[in-house]
Structure 1
Amino acid sequence: MNTKKKNNLLTLAIFALVAIILPGCIEDSDYEKQQQESDQLIKDYITSNNIEAEKSNNGVYYEALTSNPDGELPKIGDVMKVKYELRTLDGKLLESHMTDSTLLRFSSNAVIPSGVNYGLDILREGEKIRCYLPSYLAYNSYSVQDEFGPNANFILDIELTGTATEDDIHKMQIDEIEAYIDSEKLGDLTPSTSGLYFKSLEAGTGDEAKAYHTATLHYKRKTLDGSIIQETEADNPLIVSLNTNQLVSGFREGVLKMKEGEKALLILPSDIAFGSSVKVIPNSIREELWENGLIGSLVEPYTIVMYEVELLEVK
C-alpha cells in the first residue's frame, strides 16, 4: 500500500475522533483552519449565487427545494426511500440516483459521509432539500483519484419519497425474487420459512454439511441483474466454521442443505443477507473503503443477493 493511501485511510478511520477531541485541545489548529476554510468556501458559494440557505448548529447549510409541512417525519429505525444527487462544490457530478428511490435505514450511522445523516433527520415525506456539506462532515482530507481531492466540500440534493417497514421490504423482495425466478425459468423453487430460495444445480455424493462442520467452498455472490459483487479465487476457497456467524444467515442456511461436491444456487432477500448495511455516497468508493476495513460489507443496503456455491469439503 502506498503512503498516500495509508494517509487517506488513517484520516478517514480517525476522523470522527479527531472531530470531537482536537478542536478542544489545540487553539487555531490545522483542523480548525480546515473547518474555517470549508465554511468560508461554502458561505462564499451561497452568497455569490444568491442562495437562501440556513446553517444548522452542526455546520451543514440547508436549502429547501420542495416543502411538505404535512409530510410524516420518519422515525428512528424506519426504512427511508430516497433519491439523491451528489456533486462537489465546484460542480463535478459524482453520483445521481434521481430516477428510482434507493433504500436506507434511518439511524445515526446510516450513511457515509456523516453530514448526510444531518439532512435525513429534518426531511419529511415528499420534501427535497439541498445540503452543503463541509469537508469536516464529509471525507475530511481523504481523497479518491478521479473522484474528489482532499478537503472537498459537497452539494447533496436529497428527496424523501416515502418510508417502509422491514416487513414491507421483505414482502416486496419476495415478489421480486419470484418474478426473477419466473423470468429466468429456474423452475419451481419454494422458499424456506426464512425466505431463502434454494436450487441444487449439481448433486453431491459426499457427506451432508452439519452445523458443527468446517466447510471448504467456492462461491460467487451476485445481484439479480448478474453483477458480481465478490467471488473466491480458483486456488483460494473459503474455509468457514458453520457453527459461527461468519456467513450471513441465509448463506449458512443454504450451505447446510448441501452435500460435499454439490453445486447450488441460493437467492436471499436482504433480511437474511446484509440487511440495512451502510450507504456510501458516492458508491464508486465503496470497494476501496471495504478493502481497507473501513466498512463491513461490499453490499449496498437492502440488496437481494444470489450465491452460486460449490461445497468442496466438510470436516
Structure 2
Amino acid sequence: MILKNKFTWLLGLVILMTSCLDDSPTEIELDMERDDLALEYYINSNNIDATKTQSGYYYTKTVEKPDADLFVSDDYIGVYYEIKSLDGQLIDSHLDESLEPKIFKYSQDGLWPIAITYASGLAKVGEEMTVYSPSYLAFGNYSYETLILPSSNLIIKLKYAAKYTEEELKEREEAMLAEYIASEQLEGFEEVAEGVYVRTITEGDDSKTESQLGSTVSVDFELFELGADEPVYESYESNQPTSVSVGNSGLEFLNEGLIDVYPDQKLEILSTSFNAYDQSIQIFPSVIREDLVNLGEQIDLVKPFTPILFKAEVLSVN
C-alpha cells in the first residue's frame, strides 16, 4: 500500500504499448499506421460522416448544445458511456441514467482510455458523441482476459451529463459518509478536519507516548472503499505494519486522524477522497484496475471520487 505518497499516472500517447513491448520506433509507427488504416476503412465502409482529428481519432456528435460552454482543463465531468471494440465486442457500459454518471477530472492524467479525455475537449454539457479511437489512444497493446484484446480500436459512445465544482463533489462525498454512518448505525465518529471523521474502538495505553505532529506512528490496518466488504489494502496478510510520519504523509486523512493517539489504540477513520486518493485516475473499465497495478503501473487501487474507511491498530508511537 502507498501510505506516504500518492501517485499520478502520467499518460503519454502510447502508454502501455511502450511499457508492454520492446518495440523500435519504426514498429510503433507501423502499428499506428495499421490502426489508422483500419479506422479509415471502417468509417468509409459504413458511410459514417465523422470528423478526423489531428490526434488520430474520429468523432460524430449526435446531440449538440451550441449555447453551452466547452469543458476546460481541470473541470470535473460526469459521463455515461459505452465502449466496444471495432468488431462489436462490448468492453464496458455505463448507460443507465437512473445511476450516477461516472466522474473524471478533465486533465492529462484524469482518465484512461485517453481518447475520451481528448474528445472531451470538443464537448459540452448535454452533448452526445461517438468516438472512433485507434488503439494507440486506447488500450495500446494491453490485453485483459477475453474482454480486451491487444491493439483493439474502439467505438466509444459518450453522453456528457454534468459538470461539477470541487465543492459540489466534496458535498456529495460528505453526504455519502453521513448516509453510511446512519445506515450502519455507527456511533462515536467525530469530525477532526473537513471531510475526516475519527472514532476510537479501543482506548490506547495513555502511560506511553501520545502522537503529535511529526511523530512516527506504526499501525496495522485495513483500508476499504466506502461500503465494500473486502479491503483494498491491508497489512495483516503481509505482516508488514506501515509507519506514518504524521503531518508529512501524502494522505491527509492520516495526518489528521493519527494525531493524539496512543499505542494499542484501535480506531476507525472515515474520509472523503479529497483527503485520501484525490489524484487517483479514473479507468474504464474499472475491472482492469488491479491487473494494471499487478503489471507495475503506478496507480492507486482506490477508485477516484470514492470515500474510504480506514481501520487501524496503533503499534507504536515515536
| 2:297 alignment partner in structure 1 | 294
Partner SS for 2:29 = helix
User: What is aligned with 1:68?
Assistant: 65
Conserved 8 A contact 2:192-2:256: no
Assess if the C-alpha contact under 8 Å between 1:219 and 1:232 holds in 2: yes
1:310 equivalenced with 2:313 (yes/no): yes
Q: TM-score, normalised by structure 2?
A: 0.85
2 CA distance for matches of 1:146 and 1:87? Answer: 13
One-letter code aligned to 1:126:
G
Structure 2 partner of 1:169: 169
Alpha-carbon shift at residue 198 of structure 1 (Å):
0.8
1: CA distance between counterparts of 2:138 and 2:115?
6
Q: CA deviation at 1:73?
A: 1.6
Give the CA deviation at 1:38. Answer: 1.0
Classify the secondary structure of the residue corresponding to 2:199.
strand
What is aligned with 2:91?
Answer: 94
Superposition deviation, residue 166 in structure 1: 0.9
Q: Is the 8 A contact 2:253 2:271 kept in 1?
A: yes
**C-alpha distance 188-235 of structure 1, shift in aligned 2 (>3 A):** closer
RMSD of equivalent CA atoms:
2.5
1:55-134 to 2 correspondence within 5 Å? 55-99=52-96, 100-134=100-134
Counterpart in 2 of 1:190? 190
Report the equivalent of 2:11: none
Out of 7, 12, 16, which is 1:12 matched to?
A: 16
Deviation of 1:13 (Å):
7.4
CA distance in 1, matches of 2:37, 2:247: 51
Asked if 1:42 is matched to 2:42, the reply is: no
Q: Residue by residue, what CA displacement relative to the aligned partner does 1:32-69 show, whole Å, maximum 9, x if unpaired?
A: 22112111222222233332211111100102122221
More helix by share: 1
**Alpha-carbon shift at residue 184 of structure 1 (Å):** 1.1
* Aligned counterpart for 2:220 among listed residues 209, 218, 221: 218
Give the aligned residue type for 2:141. S
Distance 1:253 1:134, change over 3 A: same
Q: Deviations over 1:211-265 (max 9, x none)?
A: 3333221111112222432222345233324156445111232122422111111
Q: Which one-letter code corresponds to 1:107 in the other structure?
A: S
Q: Distance in 2 between matches of 1:195 and 1:271?
A: 8
Find the aligned partners of 1:259 and 1:85 in 2 and give their Cα distance.
49
Mapped contact 2:188–2:199 kept (Cα < 8 A): no
Report the CA distance shift for 1:207/1:98 in structure 2 as closer, same or farther (over 3 A). Answer: farther
Q: 1 CA distance for matches of 2:248 and 2:93?
A: 35
1:134 is displaced (CA, Å) by 0.3
| TM-score, scaled to structure 1 | 0.86
Could you give the per-residue CA deviations for residues 149-201 of structure 1, whole angstroms, max 9, x where no partner exists?
22111111122111111111112211221121111111253322322111111
- State how far apart, in whole Å, the 1-side matches of 2:280 and 2:159 are: 20
Say whether the 8 Å CA contact 1:212–1:241 is kept in structure 2. no
Residue identity over aligned pairs, in percent, reads 26
Alignment match of 2:269 (pick from 266, 270, 293): 266
Structure 2: which 5+ residue stretches go unaligned?
Answer: 1-13
Which residue, 223, 232, 238 being the options, matches 1:229?
A: 232
Distance change >3 Å, CA 199–CA 72, structure 1 → 2: same
Q: Which amino acid aligns with 1:299?
A: V
Cα deviation digits, residues 122-168 of structure 1 (max 9, x gap): 11000111111101112222222332222111111122111111111
Larger RCO: 1 or 2 (CA < 8 Å, sep 6+): 2
Aligned twin of 2:209 = 207
Q: Secondary structure at the match of 1:192?
A: strand
- Letter of the 2:265 partner, please give it: E
Q: Which amino acid aligns with 2:272?
A: P
CA shift in 2, pair 1:212/1:251, >3 Å: closer
Whole-angstrom CA distance in 2 between matches of 1:238 and 1:119? 43
- Partner Cα distance (1:31, 1:293) in 2: 21
CA separation of 1:247 and 1:256: change in aligned 2, threshold 3 A:
farther
In structure 2, what is the Cα distance between the partners aligned to 1:12 and 1:245? Answer: 32
